Amino acid sequence: MTAASAEASPDLARRFHQHVLADAEYLKTRGYNPVRFTGLIAQKGSAVAAAKQLLAKPRHTFYGFERLWEMGELRRSVEFVANLPWFQPSFTDQEHEAGRTRLALHDFSVQTSLAAAAASPPPWAKTG
């Protein structure tokens, strides 16, 4: 994706939305309810729009991200999920870099984790 604005296909945007909401539900079972993030999704109308807002400030770390870091759940952050190969078309190069930078600053092994995730893509993302 170029530095210009990335545009998610409706299907890809829906899958991203479902993915992050499923992660939010899982996090609730671990004792963390990401109320502010789900509120941002509701306010923006989609998880892609909410993620784009969070990724627009690469040097600012939000409470929810810090909480995921403390829980060892950065793989459930939008910073990581936006960089998954199957969701990358929804985001710009700058947004990808903002996510990778924030993750790396928290000692998260970005490339290793992305490679591990890419080895087991969801069925809908597998190429022929």
* Secondary structure tally for the chain: helices H, strands E: 7, 0
DSSP-derived secondary structure letter, 76:
G
DSSP-derived secondary structure letter, 75:
G
Number of residues written out for the chain: 128
pLDDT range class, residue 3, cuts 50, 70, 90:
very low
pLDDT in tens, 79-121: 999 999 999 999 999 999 999 999 999 999 999 999 999 999 9
Residue type, 111: Q
Distances (CA, A) of 88 to 2, 33, 112, 118: 11, 26, 17, 12
